[in-house]
Structure 1
Amino acid sequence: MPKDPKDLRSARWFAPDDLRSMGHRSRAMQMGWSGEDWEGKPVIAIINTWSDLSPCHHHLRDRAEWVKRGILQAGGTPAELPVHDFAEQFLKPTSMLYRNLGAIEVEETLRSHPVDGVVLMGGCDKSTPALVMGAVSMGLPMIFLPAGAMLRGNYAGQKLGSGTDVWKYWDERRAGNIGAAEWEGVQGGIARSYGTCMTMGTASTMMSIAEGFGLTLPGASSIPAPDASHKRMAATCGRRIVDMVWDDLTPDRIITPAATRNAVTVAMATGCSTNAIIHLIAMARRAGVPLTLDDIDAIGRTTPVIANIRPSGDTYLMEDFFYAGGLPALMKELGDKLDLSVTTVTGQTLGDDIAPAKNFNADVIRPLSNPVYSEGSLAVLRGNLAPDGAVIKPAAMDPKFQTHKGPAIVADSYDALKEIINDEDYPMTPDSVLVLRNAGPQGGPGMPEWGMIPMPKALLKLGLRDMVRLSDARMSGTSYGACILHVAPEAFIGGPLALIETGDIIEVDVPNRSLNVQLSEAELDQRRAAWVAPAPRYQRGYGWMFARHIQQADKGCDFNYLETGFGAPVPEPDIH
């Protein structure tokens, strides 16, 4: 049933004839508001992640104005509320350290203000999960506005993909095949507009997942940031959220177990980032859906990659994907692999949303009969090195490494790793397995994207461009190669990765989903008894809190006290 205006949440601040509400009304009038702004109208929060140090979101200051236009057109009152910007390129040691902080900020910003619904504006890697996690935990009607990908890059007539081509050209620079002029040309041509990475990196992956959950307007995740239709989509988000408030269309009606399976299926079919696994688990669990690594791997086994987009694909970028029909066209190709009966933010079923979609380029969006890769983008490995799981992206690696055995070369820190990979004469072979540890959620700290370990110069000079690399870190979704990531438990807290030594034989079997070191349990126990825990990374502040409450990668790296089942429900604020 449509909501009665007197039942609007914001009315608790503005409607009563008492002292506190008089204060709220007078302060609203101080900003130029009048009774026409709050009497019988929903107040809509616009959560904006714009900042001067966020190139992916640099257009969101403008897009907020288009959202406001839509809200006003639909009879609502807009209120823009800025939050943390999640600037992937500049935050150190890693933006992942701040994802949960951002989620807390979003949840508490919404809880503490007189708002009835929210438009979430983001897209750069950690912003999508942070915004969704916080808003889901709050429970107000919400719609996600994806920032959109930048235009495709260009250098010397070559189409460049952000991230992916950086790694490729950097290897060639280190191998001595290109010089400073070419490197600077790539630098100037790879990011030509505002917007997120235009490969199927973590940003595009997470925006697609948001649409897969049903949290965006149909096709919104595929629109390039500079395209004029992005402005029109922003205004439509503003109009739609007002209707969602009146219909009381809250996220618990959208993020269901079936919608979660859809989101995972979409992720696998797009050739998603390895980071998707961590964020999918965290987002689902905030909604009370107990998603696991095994659930994700099972869906991946039966969902081929059909988006021919770098780095899993060989040619195309997100702009091409948009022209081909975008995510609605991909979802239509997936057919009965999706549950089309779920409800989305449109108030319709997913089936209704994608019914008009068409695939305009069957090489960009492949049919199921002609996939880019026969299984999903990611695989989950387990064994005595990763009892709680590890992740690999088989769709973006040299197939010969899917079954591999070789001696470990172990680095305890990123600085130690750089010494190894920059030494042209370091003793290693193509079979060597390069290991980085102490780079997980606590060890990093924050689990930085160090898992895309650059190829060692000793192998680059042999003409090699891939090898098996193993870590408890993450890697950029724009990356590629035989990189095994998210090893859990991490080395910093005494996981098995902490126990291996240079020369130990590592065995990888992707088809059988296994990852082991050739050591007996007795030897591992002996090493475990001798292991000494490293000193904590932080002694104060947010980092201190982070280290005490962060969960491991297999549980989504959320804080334990933010899970749906933790403690008593949080009451609405007592405003009187």
Structure 2
Amino acid sequence: MTDKRPLRSAQWFGTTDKNGFMYRSWMKNQGIPDHEFQGKPIIGICNTWSELTPCNAHFRKIAEHVKKGVLEAGGYPVEFPVFSNGESNLRPTAMLTRNLASMDVEESIRGNPVDAVVLLVGCDKTTPALLMGAASCDVPTIVVTGGPMLNGKHKGRDIGAGTIVWQMHEQYKAGQIDLNEFLSAEAGMSRSAGTCNTMGTASTMACMAEALGTSLPHNAAIPAVDSRRYVLAHLSGMRIVEMVHEDLRLSKVLTKQAFENAIRVNAAIGGSTNAVIHLKAIAGRIGVDLELDDWTRIGRGMPTLVDLQPSGRFLMEEFYYAGGLPAVIRRLGENNLLPNPDALTVNGKSLWGNCAQAPIYGQDEVIRTLDNPLRKDGGICVLRGNLAPSGAVLKPSAATPELMKHRGRAVVFEDFDDYKARIADPDLDVDETCVLVMKNCGPKGYPGMAEVGNMGLPPKVLAKGITDMVRISDARMSGTAYGTVVLHVAPEAAAGGPLAVVRNGDFIELDCYEGRLHLDIPDAELQERLAAWQAPEGLLWDGGYRRLFVEHVMQADEGCDFDFLVGCRGAGVPRHSH
């Protein structure tokens, strides 16, 4: 049904008083004629283009195709920049500025004369940041992703962005290859515009955006340099104008049912653990109650069907050619594994309606069948116990099955600097049965919760041919990484969680099948240690945004959003400034 209410932008451009005069007149210095202000939806194109965010450096061209679609459908496009937090260059971590970017997006939408927005996203944190900001405003919103890079190439074989770095660096530390061999893959890893071509966080969040229903079908997987990426951008520009007339706001799409679908899809694709934090934060902004236990309830027991690095063999190009995310959703739906097939999407159809007839190509190799999965249980494993009272997570599809139930002696690093200083020491008291533990790398402790949880193994262990050990921290890890890695331990060490008092020689029990993470010391001793614990110094030393972050960031199980940003504040029009 078409909504007949006045356009939001009309409160700027639709009056004949002094204010309307000024708003229109200053916009006209760009050569905009009168008729563009007469009842047309104004569509904001929220662009994270930046040459310092290489994954998003091609977004100017994508924006031009979105504009063509908006104009064709009878709207008027206005492009604006927002903070672009690229994963590859930004220190100490892009996660530190995810919430900052979301604030930029929220206030840019609320304070400007736009009736709807197209979110141009790509690199890891830009997708959740822009969805978080838009969710807080609840205007009609559609996501357009920049797409993954072409397959990397090295010595005649395909290599995955990010994943090859971890693999070859471990081989270099083990003495299996020399420095020249390690560096030889550098030029071939990133061959085109786009995000990482593995099922890392960028591709995972693109899939999450599509599974949530916030993008058109196939948005997640079309390669960045494929002409069909520009066609999708054009169609998205057309569709957002229709969404304004239909009053199809983000809250009608981002329902609890949509998040349940996304959790199940994340298991099927072998998605990044980072999705746990980002989906929680997006849900918190729109007002949906999403908990860690939902990942157990919805995700566990779901086979991983997509055979992509870092869990499997292939890359995002092959994923798209095999049918992309609609093919995965069809597999789920045909086997009654899609929790909410009727969930609404931005094109006005249900998720199942979009995917029921989706083609699946490639002899069931890239997108496998239910009876031949990559892993029988690929859902994110949520762990609890006296070491993680508020929870921790592990990605089964990237772990070693034999280590998913393990008891080992703790080798403790107080922070990332301590880890770097000692991990290569030949006298480090460690073997492959030990559990590597790293503290003070969580939201407050790093600060920003950097992707350092996939600690590289000690060279003395790598030299034995060992490729995996159990690792535990309050950090995150890149979605391109792999291993039996326990992440997001909450509460974090810097907030006084039990992780803070683990000592060298303590024994730790990991049982992914029972969802248990246990520090094997008497309860009384644990309480004594916690009572004697003192917070690390210097968390707030430099003031500014970092101080704001440390004072207001919530823990990993709560999505690491700021406590004062949770909730939907709407897009009410601010007061006139004149």
> Which TM-score applies when normalising by structure 2?
0.97
Deviation at 1:537, TM superposition (A): 2.1
In 2, distance between residues paired with 1:60 and 1:538?
36
In 2, distance between residues paired with 1:439 and 1:68?
42
In 1, distance between residues paired with 2:435 and 2:451?
18
In 2, distance between residues paired with 1:309 and 1:371?
12
Name 1:76's counterpart in structure 2: 75
Name 1:348's counterpart in structure 2: 349
In 1, distance between residues paired with 2:472 and 2:274?
15
Cα pair 1:212 1:262 within 8 Å, conserved? yes
In 2, distance between residues paired with 1:198 and 1:83?
24
Name 2:32's counterpart in structure 1: 33
In 2, distance between residues paired with 1:182 and 1:456?
20
Deviation at 1:44, TM superposition (A): 0.4
Name 2:505's counterpart in structure 1: 503
Name 1:97's counterpart in structure 2: 96
Name 1:271's counterpart in structure 2: 270
Name 1:214's counterpart in structure 2: 213
1:375 paired to 2:374: no
**Residues 96-175 of structure 1 correspond to what in structure 2 (within 5 A)?**
96-175=95-174
Name 1:532's counterpart in structure 2: 534
2:509 counterpart SS class: strand
1:119 counterpart SS class: strand
Name 1:554's counterpart in structure 2: 557
Cα pair 1:199 1:317 within 8 Å, conserved? yes
Deviation at 1:442, TM superposition (A): 0.1
Name 2:480's counterpart in structure 1: 478
In 1, distance between residues paired with 2:320 and 2:497?
43
Deviation at 1:302, TM superposition (A): 2.9
Cα pair 1:448 1:474 within 8 Å, conserved? yes
2:411 counterpart SS class: strand
Deviation sequence 1:151-191 (CA, Å, 0-9, x none): 01010012101111111110111111112222222111111
2:525 counterpart SS class: helix
**AA partner of residue 177 (structure 1):** Q
In 2, distance between residues paired with 1:476 and 1:352?
33
In 1, distance between residues paired with 2:398 and 2:378?
11
In 2, distance between residues paired with 1:29 and 1:400?
66
1:393 paired to 2:392: no
Cα pair 1:380 1:391 within 8 Å, conserved? yes
In 2, distance between residues paired with 1:358 and 1:570?
39
In 2, distance between residues paired with 1:116 and 1:498?
48
Name 1:417's counterpart in structure 2: 419
In 2, distance between residues paired with 1:57 and 1:94?
17
In 2, distance between residues paired with 1:396 and 1:470?
15
**Residues 235-246 of structure 1 correspond to what in structure 2 (within 5 A)?**
235-246=234-245
Deviation at 1:149, TM superposition (A): 0.5
Deviation at 1:535, TM superposition (A): 2.0
Deviation at 1:16, TM superposition (A): 1.1
**AA partner of residue 541 (structure 1):** G
Q: CA RMSD in A?
A: 1.3
Deviation at 1:419, TM superposition (A): 2.2
Name 1:3's counterpart in structure 2: 3
Deviation at 1:100, TM superposition (A): 0.6
In 2, distance between residues paired with 1:283 and 1:536?
30
- Runs of 4+ in structure 1 displaced over 6 angstroms? none
**Residues 154-553 of structure 1 correspond to what in structure 2 (within 5 A)?**
154-313=153-312, 315-335=313-333, 336-338=336-338, 339-361=340-362, 362-539=364-541, 540-553=543-556
2:564 counterpart SS class: helix
> Which TM-score applies when normalising by structure 1?
0.97
Cα pair 2:474 2:488 within 8 Å, conserved? yes
**AA partner of residue 474 (structure 2):** D
Deviation sequence 1:191-250 (CA, Å, 0-9, x none): 111100010000000000000000010111110101110011111111111111111110
Deviation sequence 1:115-150 (CA, Å, 0-9, x none): 001100012111111010110111110000011100
**AA partner of residue 360 (structure 1):** Y
Deviation at 1:369, TM superposition (A): 1.8
Cα pair 1:270 1:377 within 8 Å, conserved? no
2:436 counterpart SS class: strand
**AA partner of residue 425 (structure 1):** D
In 2, distance between residues paired with 1:570 and 1:26?
24
Return closer, same or farther for 1:241/1:570 CA change in 2, 3 Å cut-off.
Answer: closer
**AA partner of residue 565 (structure 2):** L
1:418 counterpart SS class: helix
Deviation sequence 1:260-306 (CA, Å, 0-9, x none): 11111111110010111101111112121111111112212232111
Gapped regions of structure 1 (runs ≥ 5):
none
Greater CA drift, 335-344 or 72-81: 335-344
Deviation at 1:524, TM superposition (A): 0.9
Report how many aligned residue pairs link the two structures: 572
1:522 counterpart SS class: helix
1:560 counterpart SS class: coil
In 1, distance between residues paired with 2:315 and 2:545?
37
1:13 paired to 2:15: no
**AA partner of residue 388 (structure 1):** S
Deviation sequence 1:83-108 (CA, Å, 0-9, x none): 11111001111000000111111110
1:23 paired to 2:22: yes
In 1, distance between residues paired with 2:76 and 2:235?
15
**AA partner of residue 350 (structure 1):** L
Deviation at 1:536, TM superposition (A): 4.1
In 2, distance between residues paired with 1:407 and 1:25?
69
Cα pair 2:301 2:379 within 8 Å, conserved? no
In 1, distance between residues paired with 2:249 and 2:525?
53
In 2, distance between residues paired with 1:195 and 1:538?
36
Deviation sequence 1:364-422 (CA, Å, 0-9, x none): 11122221111124201100000000111121111111111111111112111012221
Cα pair 1:421 1:458 within 8 Å, conserved? no
1:221 counterpart SS class: coil
* Identity across matched positions, percent: 47
1:118 counterpart SS class: strand
